[in-house]
A and B are shown apart, each in its own frame.
Chain A
């Protein structure tokens, strides 16, 4: 990517193969790239809707699958609203992958506590697939996930799949319950009260809406996680993806180049991080 001869602003084409409805606001789009494409978990792409706009997303599929990739998109603005209307066969543009993803090599021999909320589970699902692949080298993986309502909970089959895998466990919560909900109730961070952590051997990964990132991080610090072992996905308005347009600056960092995954100690002194 981004070699001297390549036009850094020009997307390559991908064809939409399938659309999966995850929740009323969230869909997963399965794309087949026209040329060889691979990414590392946590890296992001710029997805272009021809003539309409471009937005950054972190693929939610396994990096080990290269023939196709998934992008899970919440209807949140002008571009995503139009993306939600797409039918299979549509041709979109992709630039990337960009950024610094999850340092999975540093997770070896650790237990991984993941806190996620809403559409923030998208990058996490990709990470989970990698963790499953390397599970022999891990102590354990705990996924804590919160959504607004049971209906808003995405990747429903994923949880039962994970619970069947040795060393993996999941906890779910919703802000607003319904009569059928039998799991936790409350904001995502409450789940952290229900997990057992072997701190000297643990790392934490957080990905979700900013408010959850903020209070989740505070809670993890309270639990005793060191600042350099809390990995945060600080996705912002990465527009060019190249560290040039300036729209994703987080203090002195370009989130698109230096992140989107940061440890808390890397960003804690920058202004307006949450």
Chain B
């Protein structure tokens, strides 16, 4: 059973400061209206935003850079702490790990970064307009893949370790103070907040089908709905680029038999085009539907992991204002 440690916020900040020497720490900072991960320096520490959904970029950007030379040996990097990761992004790791670190065809660029990182997950104590993790069986607090979890409650950081990597870091964090209060159970105040946020999300998304219902509905859908929604799509690929589980890429050749992996999107025209000219996904409408098939059927079936975490970023990113959830509600009406 996990033990929960309670640190004064000031002590936590001090602990975090002490880690800056040996880790590159990334945490969400609000800039204007945008919450995004920043490389933390000492002066940023008071500005770190806790318990708030959700950094504008998904966690995958730390492990899969937009562009990366995958033939030259990567340089050794200082270990990384990623602080404030929401539960939706943590759950995306299930699919990414299976995808890139399977027994066969190990991607050691992904693996190296993944192993070099400590993930500190954080509760969501509020919700964003398009958050719908609970519809897909997730909870708005760290349950999976976090090395450490942190929640702020009444001026205190409630911290718990969930992996050997987390335990090791915890020793250093707790070193900052003697007699840190420990609990075997989650503080009552925190479980109440968790329950309330969960209920809030369930209420906001009460019309949204769950994962299995969505899968069934997408499989059994008529063409009309895809035609209708695809009409607005401009194939910009933002939905795929911002998706925490989208991984498709392009390999670009460089002299010296080097290869650069560049993040790609299945919504771009010509994504599947062959030299002979055939292109099974030539029609925008096919590409559009294929993405839903991929998210709700193909990836879950193949990797036994969800491929939509309900983060809602694709809805926020769509310049054509296509709301995936409206489509899914309409589909299951």
Contacts and interface: CB of A to CB of B under 8 A. Distances in A.
A54 interface: yes
Interface stretch (B138-146, B194-202, B264-272): B264-272
B249 interface: yes
A94 B281 CA distance: 28
Task: Give the bracket for the number of chain A residues in contact with chain B.
Answer: 35 or more
B105 A244 contact: yes
Given A50-B253, A51-B254, A242 B105 contact: yes
Nearest to B297: A252
Contact of A2 (B106, B277, B286): B106
Interface of A is mostly: loop
Contacts of B253: 48-54
A16 B217 CA distance: 52
A210 B279 CA distance: 11
Interface residues of B, number: 43
Interface string B268-309: 000111111110110000100110011001100110000000
A243 B264 CA distance: 15
Nearest to B279: A237
Contacts, number: 110
A239 interface: yes
Contacts of A55: 275
A245 B257 contact: no
B249 A236 contact: no
B281 A237 contact: no
Contact of A93 (B107, B108, B257, B276): B257
B46 interface: no
A95 B181 CA distance: 56
User: Which residue, B106, B247, B277, has most C-beta atoms of chain A within 10 A?
Assistant: B106
B106 A4 contact: yes
A79 B272 contact: no
A3 B298 CA distance: 26
B189 interface: no
Interface in A51-65: 51-55
Contacts of A13: 257
Given A245-B251, A248-B272, A7 B105 contact: no
Contacts of A7: 70-71, 108
B261 interface: yes
